[in-house]
Amino acid sequence: MTDRQRRTAPPAGSAVTSAAHGPQSREVVRLALVVGALGVVFGDIGTSPIYTLQTVFNPSDPHPVPVGTDNVFGVVSLVFWSVMIIVTVTYVLLAMRADNDGEGGIMALITLLRRMGTQRGPQTTAVLAALGLFGAALFFGDSMITPAISVLSAVEGVKVLRPSLKEVVVPTTAVIIVVLFLVQRWGTAAVGRIFGPVMIVWFVAIGAFGVSGIVRHPAILRALSPTCAGGFLVHHFGTAFFALAAVVLAVTGAEALYADMGHFGRPAISRAWLFLVFPACALSYLGQGALILGNPNTVSSPFFLLAPGWARLPLVLLATAATVIASQAVITGAYSVASQAAELGYLPRLRVTHTSESTIGQIYVPWINWLLMISVLTLVFAFRSSAALAFAFGMAVTGTITITTLMFFYLARWKWHTPGWLLGLGASVLLLVDLLFVAANLTKLVHGAWLPLLIALTAFTVMTTWQRGRQIVTARRQRREGSLREFVDHLRTNTFRAVRVRGTAVFLNRGKQTAPLALRANVEHNHVRHDHVLILSVETLPVPRAPANQRIAVDDLGYADDGISHVTARFGYLEKPDVLGALRMLDPDTTEGRLDLDHASFYLSKIELRTGDAPTMARWRKRLFIATSHITADAAQHFGLPGDRTVIMGSHIEI
């Protein structure tokens, strides 16, 4: 079984795996993947109909769109064609073709660009990688705003049932969000099985209610014509331009389609989108537009008012469940982005817990979880309504989409050598659409659009500061450690007068160019060395998962009889490093004898950082780097080392 097949295969013993092999079994597997994708991938974009049209026609908007026949037709048409162009064309048909061994999303694009760095020059690669990193930073803003606006918009449905319940919306939302983050430690594997069926019910329901609205006012189907959207932009540009700041809410969650591609595969996501999600959302938008045409007073909550009276309470409950699922998906996405960023050197090593044995990617990152919870609660109590948060939401979405589009076309030109005229035509159209949305959302800058930009700039500053500080510390550490080859030569000639003792010692190090500080201290100060010395480097490959035949590499460092070897253990950026498991794969013939791993001692070098006078970074960035280092996860736990056999030796470095 290949690595890609292993990711998509169902757990052993399931109904799927026990079915007979053949075409019918393969169809069952495909259906299971589609249902799983519905439960994880489409929660965010699938709940956008709750608040999109309501926000467009919000009278308290600083640039309100009047409720009128032409405006309703134009806005609904803009929504439909925005979803068609951005989600269907940009993401489903184009961006999802740019995968990194099956994985998608901003971090996958960054690794693809880094891989191309030697071909296109370091300067171009650095600029595009920085742009992609800012896109990842914008995603953190999206991860904070999505749970707040989604759950708020669903709970606000109770005001349709009983206006007197207005005051309970914010407290109820806060309770739901706290519970949502408290249960993260148990993972989503157990509840994930019901996510898909719940979302199927959701999409069928909103599609059916949309059809009921269309039947009452079938003229709304005119909005399906691209000339309707184009005419609205041309003849009512002022109104249409400001409407785009809210229309973009219809495509929130588009990045999730791309980011979660590795979990379900492109075919499953494409089928779910084209055959259920897109039609259901389109019908809901058309139905809401028809409702507003018939009664402009329904513009305050067209999504819930589209349902008949008897169905509104069940719809509020179903919407709440759907928005919790949407929040769950984006929270899990934040865990993945943070984990990948840490593996690629943009964040400190974080404590990551894998919460499912059968579902790859189901992880829990405690530090990110509590940061998100505090941030989301702050947004709920500060903005207090989905309409107010909507002003902020669009900026994060449009920024990420524009960066993804730009990076995709660059990769298409230099990786696949697509003809320039074809790329120019496609990029001109898609980037024009994206930049229109960005410009429209910039008009909301003082009304809340500054928030995701502030979050993104903060995250971007932390990540770039950590990357730069890490480079400085690594350079100074290498100078202090000295050449590993020379150190091994001195050991062979017993320059240090070190006594050999029985046993195996494993020294973790960043590479094989320098001697580990812990090994140097042990030899120079304690004057002892073990019979078998392994200098272990853990390497993170720019792929999601390292192939088994590339997991381990051994170098005897020039001597095949001194018991000293360098071992490189390779892991993908989505894997949790299991050092002990990797070492058990070693052949005694390559390590100059059999290793006693059951009793081996593991040595780590701990570095204490201090602010120095050298002009390496601004003083505030030095302090930020040192403060960020305090969230670094325990190395022994991160690498899976046995706590009772791990020795930590300290040193300090000034930056």
Exposed, middle or buried by CB within 10 Å (0-12, 13-18, 19+), for 164? Answer: exposed
Amino acid in position 194: I
Judged by DSSP in three states, 604 sits in strand
CA distance 529 to 531: 7
| Cα Rg of the chain (Å, integer) | 28
Could you give the CA distance from residue 506 to residue 384 in angstroms, rounded to a whole number?
A: 55
Q: Quote the pLDDT of residue 187.
A: 63
Query: Backbone dihedral region of 578: left (phi > 0), alpha (psi from -120 to 50 degrees) or beta?
Result: beta
pLDDT of residue 192: 55
**Strand 528-541's sheet: what is its strand order?**
552-555, 564-572, 528-541, 499-509, 601-610, 646-654
Residue 571, sorted as left (phi over 0), alpha (psi -120 to 50) or beta, turns out to be beta
| Distance separating alpha carbons of residues 29 and 13, to the nearest angstrom | 13
Euclidean distance between CA atoms 245 and 411, whole angstroms: 29
- Cβ(38)–Cβ(276) below 8 Å: yes
Q: Which residue has the tokens 């349902």?
A: 307
Half-sphere exposure of 92 (CA within 13 A, CB side): 22
Integer angstrom CA distances of residue 371 from 134, 143, 378, 379: 19, 11, 11, 12
Q: Measure the CA angle with vertex 29, ends 23 and 35; round to 5°.
A: 135
- pLDDT of the residue at 361: 54
Per-residue b or e along 632-642, where b marks 16 or more CB atoms closer than 10 Å to that residue's CB = bbebbebbebe
Write out pLDDT tens, residues 130-172: 888 898 898 888 888 888 888 888 888 888 778 878 888 899 9
Q: How far apart are CA 325 and CA 51, in angstroms?
A: 16
pLDDT at 265 exceeding the cut of 60: yes
Answer yes or no: are the C-beta atoms of 413 and 423 closer than 8 Å: yes
Are 345 and 467 in contact, with CB atoms under 8 Å apart? yes
| Residues sharing a CB contact under 8 Å with residue 379, sequence separation 6 or more, in sequence order | 144, 145, 148, 389, 451
Pairing of strands 564-572, 528-541: parallel
For the chain, the first-to-last Cα distance in angstroms comes to: 48
Report the range of poorest mean pLDDT among 26-35, 117-126, 538-547, 626-635.
Answer: 117-126
Quote the pLDDT of residue 411.
Answer: 85
Read off the amino acid at residue 610.
R
Residue closest to 498 by CA, chosen among 519, 512, 483: 519
What is the β-pairing status of strands 499-509 and 528-541? parallel
Highest mean pLDDT among 376-390, 483-497, 535-549: 376-390
Q: Report the candidate in 81, 62, 94, 446 with the shortest Cα–Cα distance to residue 258.
A: 94
CA distances from 410 to 117, 423, 513 (A): 13, 9, 35
Torsion angle of the four alpha carbons 453, 456, 462, 464, in this order, in degrees rounded to the nearest 10: -100
353-354/499-509 β-pairing: unpaired
Q: Report DSSP state, residue 165.
A: G
Confidence of residue 5 (pLDDT cuts 50, 70, 90): very low
User: In 10 A of CB 527, how many CB atoms?
Assistant: 11
Tokens of 530: 């073990």
Helices and strands: H and E segment counts in the chain: 29, 8
> What is the phi/psi pair of residue 501, to 5°?
-120, 155
pLDDT at 3: 37
State mean pLDDT over 569-592.
79
Enumerate residues 6+ apart whose C-beta is below 8 A from 549.
none
Helix orientation angle between 517-526 and 450-481, rounded to the nearest 10 degrees: 30
Return the pLDDT at 268. Answer: 86
pLDDT band at residue 20 under the 50/70/90 scheme? very low
Give the residue ranges of DSSP H helices in 306-448. Answer: 312-343, 366-383, 386-414, 420-442
Percent of the chain exceeding pLDDT 70 equals 91
Tokens coding 512: 């094989």
Are 116 and 125 in contact, with CB atoms under 8 Å apart?
Answer: yes
545 three-class SS: coil
Burial class (CB in 10 A: 0-12, 13-18, 19+), 423: middle
Q: Rounded to the nearest 10 degrees, what angle do helices 312-343 and 106-115 cross at?
A: 20
Distance CA 334, CA 341 (A): 10
Q: What are phi and psi of 503, to 5 degrees?
A: 115, 180
- Judged against a pLDDT cut of 70, whether residue 121 lies above it is answered with no
Rounded CA-CA distance 450/452 in Å is 6
Helix (H) / strand (E) containing 555: strand 552-555
What's the pLDDT band for 15 if we cut at 50, 70, 90? very low
Here the tokens at position 30 are 């495909």
pLDDT value at 84 more than 90: yes
Q: Three-class SS of residue 365? A: coil
Name which of 385, 388, 392, 393 is nearest 155 in CA terms: 385
Least confident of 181-195, 331-345, 378-392: 181-195
Query: Span 496-515, mean pLDDT?
Result: 84
Alpha-carbon distance of 8 to 18, in angstroms, equals 16
pTM: predicted TM-score of the whole model, two decimal places = 0.77
Highest mean pLDDT among 26-35, 106-115, 184-193, 349-358: 106-115
3-state secondary structure of 611: coil
Per-residue pLDDT tens digits for 637-650: 778 788 788 888 77
